[in-house]
């Protein structure tokens, strides 16, 4: 245990998750929890004001909770953290959390396509016909005719398990009538055996996505930083990534961020 604490919290409802420890003691054997001492990012003491304040030093920051609750951080067991970060920096969000009608989604997609720099792709995330009922059925032909036949387009469904691409994106991915679906993925084809532009699951989707231009390192790093700060802001301290897709590019960013002393969360896969 450290000789002095960096920070001491007191004056609130301190929840330790130990049923025997209470704020005012439920029995003579129940330790009273009135304060918490932290040093070097590690809890050093939990208990009565008298015991914990023995760790006060000249540089100790003492924080009065003003009767608020102090509790352990939440562990989020099912997240798609990488995709959430990518949505902030690489993809344009067209989900039902932002839009309510196809007209709104259409305007957002067309606006983005109009401002793309030469060589970039139109990458969209959140196509959700369940919550936006008037969304049309997508296909390569539909995307060509209604959005662009000169810019590669990828529209990922809200579930993350399906995407629709236009003809240029199919070509970039080398997807033809002769190509079989990869193991674990599906290339949807019409009655004549031609790819429709709909792809299911990562092995099929990545045939196209791996051909898109690499994202700007600064933008993607900021996307991860913003997403991690958001998790921390709602009380999460550990996030489990269930949609992890190995990537030399993003893996390097994740390692660098995780090694930083001020990284606000733990990430597991």
CA 222/CA 94 separation, integer angstroms: 20
pLDDT tens per residue across span 205-261: 999 999 999 888 888 899 999 999 999 999 999 999 887 777 777 888 888 888 888
| DSSP alpha helix (H) spans, 30-123 | 49-52, 81-89, 102-115
- What was the pLDDT predicted at 37? 97
Displacement of CA 126 from its chain's centroid (Å): 13
- What was the pLDDT predicted at 28? 54
For 96, what's the count of Cα atoms within 13 Å in the CB-facing half-sphere?
Answer: 12
Displacement of CA 38 from its chain's centroid (Å): 29
CA 124/CA 209 separation, integer angstroms: 12
Query: Which structure tokens are listed for 260?
Result: 């930083």
Is the confidence at residue 30, as pLDDT, over 70?
Answer: no
SS3 assignment, position 45: strand
- Which domains are assigned to the chain? 7-72 (2.30.40.10), 91-210 (3.10.310.70), 216-267 (no CATH)
Average of per-residue pLDDT across 28-50: 88
Stated pTM of the model: 0.74
- Per-residue pLDDT band for 21 (boundaries 50, 70, 90) equals low
pLDDT tens per residue across span 42-60: 999 999 999 999 999 999 9
Q: What percentage of the chain has pLDDT greater than the value 70?
A: 96
Is the confidence at residue 269, as pLDDT, over 80?
Answer: no
pLDDT tens per residue across span 172-191: 999 999 999 999 999 999 99
């Amino acid at each position: 245990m450290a000789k002095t604490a960096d920070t001491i919290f007191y004056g609130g409802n301190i929840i330790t998750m130990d049923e025997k420890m209470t704020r005012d003691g439920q029995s003579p054997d129940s330790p009273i929890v009135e304060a918490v001492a932290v040093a070097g990012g590690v809890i050093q003491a939990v208990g009565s004001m008298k015991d914990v304040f023995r760790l006060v030093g000249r540089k100790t920051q003492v924080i009065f909770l003003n009767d608020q609750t102090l509790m352990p951080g939440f562990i989020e067991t099912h997240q798609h953290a990488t995709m959430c970060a990518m949505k902030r920096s690489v993809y344009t969000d067209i989900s039902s959390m932002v839009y309510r009608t196809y007209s709104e989604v259409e305007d957002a997609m067309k606006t983005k396509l109009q401002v793309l720099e030469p060589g970039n792709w139109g990458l969209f995330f959140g196509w959700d016909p369940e919550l936006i009922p008037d969304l049309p059925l997508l296909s390569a032909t539909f995307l060509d005719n209604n959005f662009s036949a000169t810019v590669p387009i990828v529209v990922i469904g809200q579930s993350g398990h399906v995407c629709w691409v236009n003809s240029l994106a199919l070509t970039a991915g080398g997807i033809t009538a002769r190509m079989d679906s990869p193991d674990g993925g599906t290339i949807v084809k019409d009655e004549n055996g031609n790819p429709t532009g709909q792809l299911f699951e990562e092995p099929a989707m990545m045939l196209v996505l791996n051909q898109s231009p690499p994202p700007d390192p600064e933008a993607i790093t900021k996307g991860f930083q913003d997403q991690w700060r958001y998790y921390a802001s709602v009380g999460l301290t550990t996030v489990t990534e269930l949609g992890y897709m190995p990537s030399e590019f993003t893996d390097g960013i994740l390692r660098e961020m995780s090694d930083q002393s001020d990284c606000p969360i733990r990430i597991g896969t």
